Structure 1
Amino acid sequence: MQRSRSKSVLMKIQPIILKFTKMLSSVLHLEVEIVDASLIRVAGTGPYEHSLGECLTSNTHLLRYVIDNKKEKMVIQSHSDPLCQNCDSRGTCTEKAFLGVPIIIGEECIGVISLLAVNFEQQKVIKQNVQMLCDYIRHISALFVSKIIETSDKEIASNPALNSLIKNMDQGVLMLNKDDTIALSNRAAQRLLGLTEADISALQVTLSSLTPKDNVECGFKQYLIKFKEQQILITGQLHPIQDLRLFLMAFHQSHSNIAEPQSFDSPDIHQLIGNSKPMHTLKQLITRIAPGNSSVLISGESGTGKEVVARAIHRLSKRCNQSFIAINCAAIPEQLLESELFGYIKGAFTGASAQGKIGLLQAANGGTLFLDEIGDMPMMLQAKLLRVIESREVMPIGANKPQPLDIRIISATHQNLQNYIAQGNFREDLYYRLNVIPLMLAPLRERKSDIELLMHFFLNLHSQRMENCYPGMTQEVIAILNNYQWPGNVRELGNLMEYLVNIVPSGEVIERDLLPPHLCARKDLPSGERAPTATAAQPEPAGKSNIEIMEKQLIEEAVLRLGNKKLAAEELGIGVATIYRKIKKYELHSG
């Protein structure tokens, strides 16, 4: 047998296991052997009480099966089992029966508890009490796991080598207990959070990802850290370690303090990002109206997230387990909209499907129907929709009998429907039926404090979707985006973040040069800077190498000729971020 070189988790609690082993053997009148995942004998009785701490090299087929498959194995006639056929010790084996139960932590098998019969009386005990023995051994296994986790947590929190490593890391690190209090931190983390070592000790914090999906494999993500009266955005990775959590902060941080809502806490509706006063008011209203059945009319500029709000209302309603059907009234031709909404029976008109068609109103029965851009619905269909709302039944095209209907209607528009009513383009009676509960969404320019939260949310979202590292961004870029007016609202911001995630090289930071030109227009430039303009070539300063001069000329010529930095980068065989850095380095006027 070989002596183990490293101490397994089972070996760390060997004294406890030895006591349980002797107790099991005396109570069950069976032999007991406990090994770890490396087949090191941790404890045993009778023929198995020798060579503790050594690795088994023979008669291990059954143990290996339990470890590899992470499931129980029972053998009543040892020599006749297929696993015993290839055993080198088959001729000398004294085992009559075997019952092995894996010890599992998480997804890993860390060892095996086995009951063994070395005579016919013990074989009879196993054969007649298989279920009882299995249940009992599973209970013992769970006790071992509980003791291991308790011991490991204490060792982790008090490990001097780990403490010294964390304290001396340049990277910010927090270690959180299961009650979310800080067990350990280093100076880098304290500096980022603006706290002293005395302030941060045993401080309770709330750590939440800006994106619900928890996946550290895709690199760093943005987390919102809340403590006392503060909220701070930090880029990092969260790693669970038993009952502890280790939070590793990225070297580059594009974080900042996020203002608390001006009144009491907003409801947690994770699809609606923002802490501004308009968002706080909206979230409060949504939580109040969602459980009811009254019609809701959502108004707001294009791109403000009207469908996101509609889906949030549905998810918080009593209809959340039923269908949410969305239709854009402006995107479907007028001649098709009626059949889409109301459906039809077979033979209703020339070209109708032989099976007929279930309309979206019927498809949403029991659930929610979302009518986007309701202002573009034709007048004729407005009359039919009004009848549906009033009668709570729908008449498919060509049918002679209405169908009962139980739906909640949420509609949305970016238009002023009262002006449409005055112009004769929208029915006033339908407007009042749809506008039972009005919701007005503020444009992004009126909730500036939410811009940074939203940009990080979308960066996280698109980075994970494309399996890219979270890029982060400079404070200059954040300032530019905060000063921009966002005519396309949240949709424009989301599209911009997707564009930036696509073009920023992996592992690099989003800088000003990567932003589209219209974001860096003269009115948005910080004071003292000017927009780049084309000028005559300047003589090269002395001291530059021939290679640098040639590189500068190649880049300048390619950019001027192609009029596009991305195309120039592709032609020169370099990255987009690289060409921007070179333009900045050589002070090129790229137009």
Structure 2
Amino acid sequence: MMAVNTQSVLMQIQPTIIRFAKMLASVLQLEIEIVDINLVRVAGTGPYAKSLGRKLNANSRLLKHVIESKKEKVVTQSGVDPICEGCTDKQNCREKAFLGTPVMFQNSCVGVISLVALNCEQQERIKDNLREFSDYVQHISNIVISKLLEDQSGESNASGILLSLIDNMDQGVLIFDKNNQLKFANPVALKILKSNHEQLLGKTISARALTFQNSFTSGNMQYIISLDNRSEIIIGQLLTVQENQIFLMAFHQSHTVINTDSSNEVPQIEHLIGECQPMQALKRLIGRIAPGPSSVMITGESGTGKEVVAWAIHKLSNRNDKPFIAINCAAIPEQLLESELFGYVKGAFTGASTNGKQGLIQAADQGTLFLDEIGDMPLVIQAKLLRAIEAREVQPIGSSRPIPVDIRIISATNQNLEKYVSEGKFREDLYYRLNVIPVILPPLRDRKEDLSLLIHYFLNLHTKRIGLVYPGIAADVMALLAAYQWPGNLRELSNMMEYLVNVVPSGEVITTSLLPPNIVNQRHIVVDFSRARTEQPQEISELPEHGAHALEEMEKQLIAEALVRHGNKKLAADELGIGIATLYRKIKKYGTDDKPLS
């Protein structure tokens, strides 16, 4: 870049242009670059905020084209446009999409306002809102900037420009100051809040994120917007611009009733999403037990988030800066589990590493050891674990010298360990050592009040991770999802939302046509397969005799119908929400094959 001495008309009002560029970038969630007729950078955001007042190099072909043609230029896939051919910096170009509009003053082009996408999300944002963004920028360049140039003071006009822009947006926008007093609400926001200017302006407003804010650096979240004596749950983004806050509402809203009266004593725990009474009680319990050293046993159905709870306990404990070591006892073969947990010394057994190996218990020293699926631990290793807990030391395989350790153990299971103890499958003394503080996680079907919150949490999680546009979700889809029993709990819900964000057209609304048949074709009575997923089916014999028979008949009929409908056991198992191994076991139990039952 080269220094330029002669100030253009845009450079003469540079402070106003810079302020305006920052506010525009915050509203549109894109990067802004504004140059004058000499290709001198007047203002910019992100990487374009550097080298202001200096002339760009010869590779600024798109900007130069807009100045020379005096016409808007749109590129939704940079690098393949004919104008980009011959650019010597093409391989290093970070720009993925570009929308440049000439700034016209007294029938002459005095510069260019460009919207730039530097990542896939911004690129999709330009593609999906091309016409709207073009109208916004043309409105600015053709009308408002001209007025700025006529009035060199510009400061009061700059605020008017922003408000004019926001007033015509398709998204709801609220602006409030550092004291949380509402300064502006556009018509879309007023409609969503079912209010008018007179009712809202000057009122104190608060925006509290229902999702832990550090979970996402950007993107849509559900917020409780509170004013006067009422609250609304709104999906959007809270942005800070100078001393103001801008709340940018999502295009698609999904209103729901949710408990907004959480007490201040309920800790905000990252990734532990939920506002219903059972979840508030769980968070309060975690807040109380986390600082102590006692062992915790987390029980709950498969997919309820046991490792998330274990991690939350660790992060709220005094050991939060020490290791958190997690091991799934069911995922490691029995012959390897002992060496993984306790480690071994050089030459301890055939095939052992020549350097030996540190065990996971020793690796967790001063920190937390999380033992998931503890019910699958073999009895011989249970005995050795008990000795390690009681003696506070671990002895690697082949070693004659124990190593002292200081660990807190958090275990988890979806099995009935008390029954395992009575059957001799689990040591009673170890059970009581591990189950000092029991924590029980509710299944998703028992916390339906949180379903909308969880749906939007996973929608945001997967759209951000994959780089897709945040979709809307139709009311009848929400009703079907609320009626479904979710045998796979949060894991199943997360997988469902990931599937839906992949199949819904970019930025559109999720409709019932996109839902799988096991959700659309729900019956009024649903068999609870929640235990079947872990290959531990519910004991029907525990029900009254006539109830057990009726449930068996219903289960038998549902399986038979699913097999007839699909002619494929895997698809039938998916519809029923059970594993393929469970389906085969039930086919054998009921004498069912893929032919209709008589």
TM over 0.5: yes
Whether the 8 Å contact between 1:230 and 1:260 is mirrored in structure 2 is no
How does the TM-score come out when normalised to structure 1?
0.62
What is the identity, as a one-letter code, of the residue corresponding to 1:226?
A: I
Q: 1:173 — aligned with what?
A: 173
Whether the 8 Å contact between 1:484 and 1:524 is mirrored in structure 2 is no
Query: Deviation of residue 396 (structure 1)?
Result: 0.5
Q: 1:337 — aligned with what?
A: 337
Q: 2:98 — aligned with what?
A: none
**What CA distance in whole angstroms lies between the structure 1 residues aligned with 2:10 and 2:306?**
59
Q: 1:260 — aligned with what?
A: 260
Query: Deviation of residue 231 (structure 1)?
Result: 4.8
Q: 1:393 — aligned with what?
A: 393
Instruction: Note the alpha carbon deviations across 1:218-246, whole angstroms, 9 max, x for none.
Output: xx523313315655443334443222232
Q: 2:123 — aligned with what?
A: none
Whether the 8 Å contact between 1:304 and 1:489 is mirrored in structure 2 is yes
Given the alignment of the two structures, is residue 274 of structure 1 paired with residue 278 of structure 2, yes or no? no
Q: How does 1:200-239 map to 2 (within 5 A)?
A: 200-201=200-201, 202-208=203-209, 210=211, 212=214, 214-215=216-217, 221-228=220-227, 230-239=230-239
Q: 1:6 — aligned with what?
A: 10
Query: Deviation of residue 212 (structure 1)?
Result: 3.1
Whether the 8 Å contact between 1:261 and 1:280 is mirrored in structure 2 is no
Whether the 8 Å contact between 2:258 and 2:276 is mirrored in structure 1 is no
Given the alignment of the two structures, is residue 486 of structure 1 paired with residue 490 of structure 2, yes or no? no
Q: 1:314 — aligned with what?
A: 314
Whether the 8 Å contact between 1:209 and 1:221 is mirrored in structure 2 is no
Instruction: Note the alpha carbon deviations across 1:265-297, whole angstroms, 9 max, x for none.
Output: 521112110001110000001011111111000
How does the TM-score come out when normalised to structure 2?
0.61
Larger radius of gyration: 1
Query: Deviation of residue 209 (structure 1)?
Result: 7.1
Q: 1:335 to 1:230 in 2, by over 3 A?
A: farther
Tell me the SS of whatever aligns to 1:159: helix
Instruction: Note the alpha carbon deviations across 1:78-104, whole angstroms, 9 max, x for none.
Output: xxxxxxxxxxxxxxxxxxxxxxxxxxx
User: After alignment, is 204-213 or 494-503 more displaced?
Assistant: 204-213
What is the identity, as a one-letter code, of the residue corresponding to 1:204?
A: I
**Aligned-residue CA RMSD (Å):** 3.2
Q: How does 1:382-531 map to 2 (within 5 A)?
A: 382-523=382-523
Instruction: Note the alpha carbon deviations across 1:5-36, whole angstroms, 9 max, x for none.
Output: 125566679xxxxxxxxxxxxxxxxxxxxxxx
Tell me the SS of whatever aligns to 2:431: helix
**What CA distance in whole angstroms lies between the structure 2 residues aligned with 1:230 and 1:323?**
44
**What CA distance in whole angstroms lies between the structure 2 residues aligned with 1:392 and 1:166?**
63
Tell me the SS of whatever aligns to 2:467: coil
Whether the 8 Å contact between 1:230 and 1:258 is mirrored in structure 2 is no
Whether the 8 Å contact between 2:270 and 2:312 is mirrored in structure 1 is no
Q: 1:262 to 1:238 in 2, by over 3 A?
A: closer
Tell me the SS of whatever aligns to 1:491: helix
Q: 1:247 to 1:372 in 2, by over 3 A?
A: same
Whether the 8 Å contact between 2:343 and 2:358 is mirrored in structure 1 is yes
Whether the 8 Å contact between 2:500 and 2:510 is mirrored in structure 1 is yes
**What CA distance in whole angstroms lies between the structure 1 residues aligned with 2:197 and 2:478?**
30
Query: Deviation of residue 250 (structure 1)?
Result: 3.1
**Structure 2 unaligned residues grouped into runs of 5+:** 18-33, 42-49, 56-153, 526-565, 569-598
What is the identity, as a one-letter code, of the residue corresponding to 1:6?
A: L
Tell me the SS of whatever aligns to 2:209: strand
Instruction: Note the alpha carbon deviations across 1:285-313, whole angstroms, 9 max, x for none.
Output: 10111111110000111110000000011
Q: 1:378 — aligned with what?
A: 378
**What CA distance in whole angstroms lies between the structure 1 residues aligned with 2:347 and 2:309?**
39
What is the identity, as a one-letter code, of the residue corresponding to 2:223?
A: L
Whether the 8 Å contact between 1:372 and 1:412 is mirrored in structure 2 is yes
Tell me the SS of whatever aligns to 2:456: helix
Q: 1:418 to 1:563 in 2, by over 3 A?
A: closer
Q: 2:594 — aligned with what?
A: none
What is the identity, as a one-letter code, of the residue corresponding to 1:449?
A: E
Query: Deviation of residue 167 (structure 1)?
Result: 3.8
Q: How does 1:52-201 map to 2 (within 5 A)?
A: 155=155, 159-201=159-201
**What CA distance in whole angstroms lies between the structure 2 residues aligned with 1:379 and 1:469?**
50
Q: 1:473 to 1:351 in 2, by over 3 A?
A: same
Tell me the SS of whatever aligns to 1:429: helix
Q: 2:368 — aligned with what?
A: 368
**What CA distance in whole angstroms lies between the structure 1 residues aligned with 2:295 and 2:214?**
29
User: After alignment, is 244-253 or 429-438 more displaced?
Assistant: 244-253
Instruction: Note the alpha carbon deviations across 1:304-358, whole angstroms, 9 max, x for none.
Output: 0000000011111111111110011111111111001000001111111111110
**Structure 1 unaligned residues grouped into runs of 5+:** 14-36, 40-53, 56-63, 70-153, 526-561, 565-591
Whether the 8 Å contact between 2:16 and 2:158 is mirrored in structure 1 is no
What is the identity, as a one-letter code, of the residue corresponding to 2:214?
A: P
**What CA distance in whole angstroms lies between the structure 2 residues aligned with 1:513 and 1:272?**
31
Whether the 8 Å contact between 1:261 and 1:277 is mirrored in structure 2 is no
**What CA distance in whole angstroms lies between the structure 1 residues aligned with 2:288 and 2:313?**
10
